[in-house]
Structure 1
Amino acid sequence: MGDRWNLLVVRQLLMAPARYREPLDGLPGVATNLLADRLRDLETAGVVERLAEEGNAIVYALTPWGAELREPIESLVRWSTPLMARGGGDRFRAEWLVVGVRALLVSRAAARRSSTVGIAVDGQLLQVRARRSGTEVSLHDGRDLDAVVRG
């Protein structure tokens, strides 16, 4: 997991299984051959698997063992929160908040009633769904939102 880009590839796949182009687009600066090498290495290590989708498209997904990386990655997100306030011209994509916001909310008390709040950043919309069973964070699925926070 210590190789450059591996944790970021896993972070992308924690959001959802993806075709090759999606992590490539979601990781500005990664070369296509480097991403291919990382996916292959992670597959060999048993962290990532290739799944056939309808129409013979390949989708990359975390294996059950790879999905166990959610907890340590979310711990790193919580640990690094003070660094996020610094800014400084780093690249940012709103979809990266899917893992980050969940990490920050995971230990919060369960909601008394179900509600869904949108987070709008740079033209992208995420949703935070609070339920009694816990909090889910994902890209907006088109359903109605109770409120939207813009930033």
Structure 2
Amino acid sequence: MAARDYGQYCGVTRALELVGERWALLIVRDLLVGPRRYGELAAGLPRIPSNILAARLKELQDAGIIRRAPRSRVIVYELTPYGRELEPVVLALGAWGFKAMGDPREEQIITPDSMTMALRTAFRPHVALHLPATVYGARLGPADLLVRVDGPTLDVTRGDGPADLAFAAGPDIHRLISGELAPDRAIATGVVEVLRGPGALLERFASTFHLAA
């Protein structure tokens, strides 16, 4: 039984009963990137109390949204096919929430999984389809991501490696993705630091990943 019961017979109501508790959708967000151990989920959501994380995982399991699975002699949590159906919902919520983000507060952090989902949210496959295949090495706060774009296909993985353009940025990268800051100005003002490769490729990145604020 869901932790919250609104007493209404409605699809939206039922969805909120299943994933509307605090932290639940953020757990789903991180599992959309890939299976995670309990400790990895806790590290990716540093403010979540351990008892709340355990409770949410149990609720999501009971609802058939996630499951525990053995992987290389450890137990991981992963989304079920029913849970993966939440991906377009999470992406749409991310795009909607982006419009109200404003400037980052000092205490706010970004994580590899949150940035991976942000890039999925901002990805424009119809634009990338007409651009050359490109690999970006993106150091976004503490997250080192390899972002591979090949036509309408996007692949984001953790780590460093060969890239056509490698750059570093913090939470202010939302100003580039929103179009508030042009790529050349993002570099000139230090919002984006080019580490390797031609800075002109940041224009291609900004065209490929865009969300209007």
Q: TM-score, normalised by structure 2?
A: 0.65
1:39 to 32, 49, 57: 57
1:2 corresponding residue in structure 2: 20
The 8 Å contact of residues 106 and 134 in structure 1, kept in 2 or not, is answered as no
Deviation at 1:67, TM superposition (A): 1.0
Higher strand share: 1
2:69 to 44, 51, 65: 51
How many pairs were matched up? 149
Q: TM-score, normalised by structure 1?
A: 0.89
2:91 to 71, 74, 95: 74
CA distance in 2, matches of 1:93, 1:87: 10
Counterpart mapping for 1:1-151 below 5 A: 1-55=19-73, 57-95=74-112, 96-109=114-127, 110=129, 112-140=131-159, 142-151=160-169
* Larger RCO, structure (CA 8 Å, separation 6 or more): 1
Q: Deviations over 1:15-74 (max 9, x none)?
A: 11011000101102111111011011101111101101222x110001111111110111
CA distance in 1, matches of 2:147, 2:158: 9
Change over 3 Å in CA distance of 1:10–1:106 after alignment to 2: farther
Give SS of 2:100's match. Answer: helix
Unaligned 5+ segments in structure 2 are: 1-18, 170-213
Deviation at 1:107, TM superposition (A): 4.6
Identical aligned residues as a percent: 30
Change over 3 Å in CA distance of 1:150–1:85 after alignment to 2: farther
Deviation at 1:143, TM superposition (A): 3.4
CA RMSD of aligned residues (A): 1.7
Unaligned 5+ segments in structure 1 are: none
Residue type at the aligned position of 2:153: G
CA distance in 2, matches of 1:59, 1:127: 23
Q: Which has the larger radius of gyration?
A: 2
CA distance in 2, matches of 1:85, 1:108: 27
